Structure 1
Amino acid sequence: MSRLSWSNPSVRSAVYQAVALAAVAGLAWFLVSNTLANLAARNISSGFGFLGREAGFAIGEAPIRYDPQDTYARAILVGLLNTLRVAAAGIVLATILGTVVGIARLSRNWLVARLASVYVELMRNTPLLLQLFLWYALITETLPPARQALELLPGVFLSNRGIKLPLPADHPGFDLAAAGFALAVVLALALAHWMRRRQQHSGDVRPIAHWVVALLVGLPLAGWLAGGAPVQLDVPHLQGFGFIGGATLTPEFTALLFGLVIYTAAFIAEVVRAGIQSVNRGQWEAAESLGLRRGKVLRLVVLPQALRVIIPPVTSQYLNLTKNSSLAVAIGYPDIVSIANTTLNQTGQAIEGVLIIMAAYLAVSLTISVLMNLYNRRMALVER
């Protein structure tokens, strides 16, 4: 019976946890029941049935087909895809820029190091929303109108309506080329993994860069040739007061992406700098004593060790970038927050709209965290 005594720490711990769980459950029940009662008293319907109704509003930028006659559910899906698009592109570009700037801060060149420091301090200490307003104003106010657009390259036009780019025409050959490129990426990753395992077991190091290039070039080229080697492009051209055809990078998307990348890269740069400095100086000296150039020492010796320090805080920056994309509503980019706000204004389903936004960001953030944690676990030191 002594095991069930109050003096037993395990018993007290279980009781405290049960009481805390009951208190949380009771508070949740009170809030939900009170909310439902107030909604019913004001004749406000609740639930997610409105998602099946016709949306009735247009969306200026949709990665999938969308018409105002489509449902609210499809409109919210468009907003989610727009958020994922800018977040994915922002993560890749911010990682590249942040790594370059972080390395530049440690450069032996005084001018390069100082310029990198000025960039980091300026961007980190300026509100992101203010930066977004600045980039959006620069694009829409300083660039010429569509009829006087700047032709940067054949078929590439820059104006205050964004950047117009040529697109491959609708042809099976281009679809096969895209499928070949996707297959090449998968095979290149598999080859890199196999070579890494081989190196760990045998110590044999063999370059694979030429194989990776061959895959990334050869398979898309083979798909393009198998599809008839099409050369037709959908080139944008001026008609009336704007362009038709091709692809468009709108001012809203460009300003949001540019702002997120420039802002987040400054934080990633500091993470990279700290990670590199965490590696013992003796590692540099030992590698340089073998005759390796400074660039190779950084790439082959220092960065692989610094990654164990860099990955966890960089994961937080990826999450911040994704959540900061909600500021898109300030410059008119139709992300999940903007479209959900329009939906709840039309339907009056404010609680459901906020829950949809929260669930979307929660799902995206957890996905990023899981993927980065898996990568961090693979890079961690294995204790024997």
Structure 2
Amino acid sequence: SRIIKRQEEKRQRPLRRTTWTVVVFFAVAAIGWFLMPVQPLRIEQPAVADSGFGFIGGMTVMPQLTALIFGLVLYTGAFIAEIVRAGIQAVPKGQTEAARALGLRSGQMMRLITLPQALRIIIPPMTSQYLNLVKNSSLATAVAYPELFQISGTVLNQTGRAVQIIIIVMLSYLAFSLVISAFLNWYNKRVQLVER
């Protein structure tokens, strides 16, 4: 019974550590929010204008942004759903049968048996999808949403410095891609099996 109790405590330690990490992250974000001289996002109540027509204040969402988010979510979400489905189906059936034999419920089976094994298969193609999402964000020009590529075109027309503008755009996309790749490669190494 002592051995089982020790094993349970070892399993709960990472959960406690993760919980405290999340709490500290949100606490630092909240403190940073209030210490900033100008709030990055203000929450305002809309009010009726003095003339009686229309509203003053409040937040507005651009229809171009809505169209962009809707399009990218549908397009990328379909690929990500297929990747996750394939990763879950790639886990051998014997694993789920063994989990059922041990008396695990379906939620426990998915969390403890299936997903940890499926993540090893899911992460590499997911890296490609996240990189594609960053590159596909330049399609915002099609719905007239001002994003990096369109703004660089405007700056190019104003200044006439084509080489410098193109280098800045290339370096921006390279930086986004390297950060995403580095993070997902680190996570991929973390979930891979360690062979001895």
TM-score range, shorter chain: 0.7 to 0.9
Paired position in structure 2 for 1:324: 136
**SS across alignment from 1:247:** coil
Which residue identity is paired with 1:317?
Answer: Q
**SS across alignment from 1:383:** coil
Select the residue among 31, 37, 45 that pairs with 1:235: 45
* Offset at residue 212 of structure 1 (A): 3.5
Distance 1:315 1:238, change over 3 A: farther
Paired position in structure 2 for 1:277: 89
* Offset at residue 202 of structure 1 (A): 4.9
Q: Measure the CA separation in 2 of the matches of 1:278 and 1:235.
A: 50
Q: 1:274-353 residue pairs with structure 2 within 5 A?
A: 274-353=86-165
Which structure shows the higher strand fraction? Answer: 1
Distance 1:349 1:215, change over 3 A: closer
**SS across alignment from 2:12:** coil
Q: Considering only aligned residues, what root-mean-square deviation do their CA atoms show, in Å?
A: 3.0
* Offset at residue 297 of structure 1 (A): 0.8
Paired position in structure 2 for 1:252: 64
How many residues were matched structurally?
174
* Offset at residue 247 of structure 1 (A): 2.7
**SS across alignment from 1:292:** coil
Q: Measure the CA separation in 2 of the matches of 1:286 and 1:242.
A: 63
Q: Measure the CA separation in 2 of the matches of 1:382 and 1:340.
A: 45
Distance 1:219 1:323, change over 3 A: closer
Paired position in structure 2 for 1:373: 185
Q: Measure the CA separation in 2 of the matches of 1:320 and 1:370.
A: 15
Query: How far does the alpha carbon of each residue in 1:96-147 deviate from its partner, in whole angstroms, 9 at most, with x for none?
Result: xxxxxxxxxxxxxxxxxxxxxxxxxxxxxxxxxxxxxxxxxxxxxxxxxxxx
Which structure shows the higher helix fraction? Answer: 2
What is the TM-score with the length of structure 1 in the denominator? 0.41
Paired position in structure 1 for 2:12: 206
Q: Measure the CA separation in 1 of the matches of 2:48 and 2:146.
A: 25
Q: Measure the CA separation in 2 of the matches of 1:244 and 1:308.
A: 51
- Give unpaired runs (5+ residues) of structure 1: 1-200, 224-232
- Give unpaired runs (5+ residues) of structure 2: 1-5, 32-42
* Offset at residue 332 of structure 1 (A): 1.5
* Offset at residue 370 of structure 1 (A): 0.5
Q: Measure the CA separation in 1 of the matches of 2:78 and 2:151.
A: 30
Query: How far does the alpha carbon of each residue in 1:41-65 deviate from its partner, in whole angstroms, 9 at most, with x for none?
Result: xxxxxxxxxxxxxxxxxxxxxxxxx
Paired position in structure 2 for 1:266: 78
Which residue identity is paired with 2:160?
Answer: G
* Offset at residue 242 of structure 1 (A): 5.0
Higher relative contact order (CA 8 A, sep 6+): 1
What is the TM-score with the length of structure 2 in the denominator? 0.77
